[in-house]
A and B are shown apart, each in its own frame.
Chain A
């Protein structure tokens, strides 16, 4: 066996092991302890996990994670729709394209802030709009039933732009011959899209779904900026709940935070294994 590939890989493997692999086991290990990050650690076995099963906040977070995963998927078809719309030759189309891409360039923190103002019932655009039609504006970010949807809507804005750009590059690679051939066989409209275009966009779709799932699972910054998990924890997701219990001002329950992290990790492992398996299957065929 040749030595040189391993030598080249060595620095990468080393860093990956120290900064990714080891911390995974470390936090699983910590999840069996009770520890405030400063004092002594106490071994409590599975108590943290038992507490999780009895924790309303945990279930709220888990449920919100599922809502995030499902609704965030809207970014894929919407991104495709906008990409198809923008994929034409009109004067100044480059400008329109870049305008549509704009939200993805803005930092998530700024997106969160802007939407917080949008949603403000007294001076935000939502409030103004509702008052204009004579209705009482909802306090979206203070309403436990609306808050998660409000934050997801804010997150979709840049995510759609991201999917759009993936599809726009994908559309450049759609072979004109096949479209031509389709035309000759009388395919147009939906049929053309469904049987000719979308199959050719498969790589783009794959990447779009992957980044959207990842985006939904790490939906941390928007929540931190817009609600900090509030009102009373009803917009929490696992990632933010973990941060809150382990590292925030009133937290420092490292063991419990690690237990939440472990659960989140397991969810991701399921998804990533499926993803790897798909990739493997594709490469085989």
Chain B
């Protein structure tokens, strides 16, 4: 009775085993950006790697960023590629802690990445080990309409008082000072990061996102008091909660709003919408507390080796390859961002030059609120920021709620 079934089963297993190797490549890479620029940068790098390793069979799966975020949990456990793109900081923590990412400290050692990637090493490190190789990062700051500022006779703000005065003047001219789109929440976190970094400094910001300081702490309250000075006079555009960051480009391009706290990727959108490079200016977020050293948000994107990868040798080869200065130079020229390798060259665009200047002289680099803080905390925090921007009067209630979430998240992490 049992023999036939067993025979069928055996045949099934055998056929599965036979078909599997036919599809297996020597290196499978999952990437997460289909936008023309980033796709080309990635494809070029893979092509260069293929040229250096002509015998290697490379398979590339490039998906949309949001789809990648949902898919990664499945493919890391079920059907792991040899390389996957992902984000450093707290965003890689769940996978590192679950043992799904490979420790590549040995590669950092043998390829000398500890030196050439020294500035970005802390965000790639958990438990004293390195888990990935970053291929790009970019600066944040204030992008402003240089032509309008000139027209209004305003100089570029360097201190908080400058900024408030400039916003007042812009307001008098019938325009909005800042554009922002908070529908997807994270843009508000950029503003919060900078206000906190400038008011309380890098170390405090890290303690806050690490859950060591409560949100009702008077130093955090001070951050929101500063923020209030922009919110209450209406220095942010109205209806920002209905807009994405791309929607918020419209008032900037039309000249109804003059400044935008954003990452460098926004420049592409501004230019596509018809602004020339001369009309756009970049300035680091102004000083608030002069005693605090200047730190910046500079999120990086990186590649990781899943623990369940089939071809770890080839994967290591690929990571070593893309860590090289010339590859990083080319790649970031194509996508208009900064190469994390200190020996690579920065692109010639003025935004990259200024951005590199800003980032390389900073006292510390934060990743971004939703990468520095644990995910559950980040979600609640960013909702709180949005609620504060719409209802600044509810500050106390918001901060108390954030404390509650923080206490819970801490409890879970320490378990």
Contact = CB atoms under 8 A, between A and B. Distances in A.
A252 B375 contact: yes
B73 A142 contact: no
A231 B184 CA distance: 9
Interface in B166-223: 182-185
B7 interface: no
A51 B97 CA distance: 25
B98 A38 contact: yes
A85 interface: no
B218 to A, nearest CB: 24
Given A51-B408, A231-B387, A121 B239 contact: yes
A49 to B, nearest CB: 14
Contacts of A250: 370, 375-376, 378-379
A282 interface: no
Interface in B355-389: 370, 375-376, 378-379, 383-384, 386-387
B415 A34 contact: yes
A38 B383 contact: no
Contact of B375 (A51, A120, A142, A249): A249
Interface in A156-203: none
Interface size bucket, A side? 20 to 34
Given A34-B412, A37-B73, A230-B183, A142 B239 contact: yes
Interface in A92-146: 119-122, 139, 141-142, 144
Interface in B218-256: 238-242
A119 to B, nearest CB: 8
Contact of B239 (A34, A56, A139, A230): A139
Interface residues of B, number: 34
Nearest to A120: B242
B17 to A, nearest CB: 27
A140 to B, nearest CB: 8
Given A231-B390, A233-B383, A142 B69 contact: no
Contacts of B375: 249-252
Interface string A12-31: 00000000000000000000
A42 interface: yes
Nearest to B384: A232
A221 interface: no
B94 interface: yes
A144 B376 CA distance: 22
B370 A139 contact: no
Nearest to B250: A122
Determine chain B's interface SS by DSSP, over half rule: helix
Nearest to A142: B241
Contacts of B386: 230-232
A54 B387 CA distance: 19
B63 interface: no
A232 B394 CA distance: 13
A139 to B, nearest CB: 4
Contacts of B401: 56
B238 A139 contact: yes
B353 interface: no
Given A51-B408, A139-B241, A232-B387, A38 B100 contact: yes
A212 B97 CA distance: 45
A232 B408 contact: no
The winner among B239, B378, B390 for most chain A CB atoms within 10 A is B239
Given A34-B412, A121-B242, A249 B387 contact: no
Nearest to B378: A250
Contacts of B415: 34, 42
A231 B239 CA distance: 11
A253 B376 contact: yes
Contacts of B69: 249
A39 interface: yes
The winner among A39, A54, A249 for most chain B CB atoms within 10 A is A249
A246 B73 CA distance: 13
Contacts of A122: 239
B415 to A, nearest CB: 6
Contacts of B98: 36, 38-39
Contacts of A230: 183, 185, 241, 383, 386
Contacts of A56: 401
A8 to B, nearest CB: 24
A253 to B, nearest CB: 6
B95 interface: yes
B189 to A, nearest CB: 11
Contact of A38 (B77, B182, B379, B384): B77
Interface string B401-415: 100100010001001
Interface of B: 66, 69-70, 73, 77, 94-95, 97-98, 100, 182-185, 238-242, 370, 375-376, 378-379, 383-384, 386-387, 390, 401, 404, 408, 412, 415
9 contacts: A38-B73, A142-B240, A142-B242, A231-B241, A231-B387, A232-B390, A233-B383, A250-B375, A251-B375
Which 6 interchain pairs have the tightest Cβ spacing?
A142-B241, A250-B379, A38-B98, A232-B387, A232-B383, A139-B239
Given A142-B183, A231-B386, 19 more contacts: A37-B73, A38-B73, A38-B94, A38-B95, A38-B100, A119-B242, A139-B239, A141-B241, A142-B240, A142-B242, A142-B390, A227-B183, A228-B183, A228-B184, A232-B386, A250-B376, A250-B378, A250-B379, A251-B379
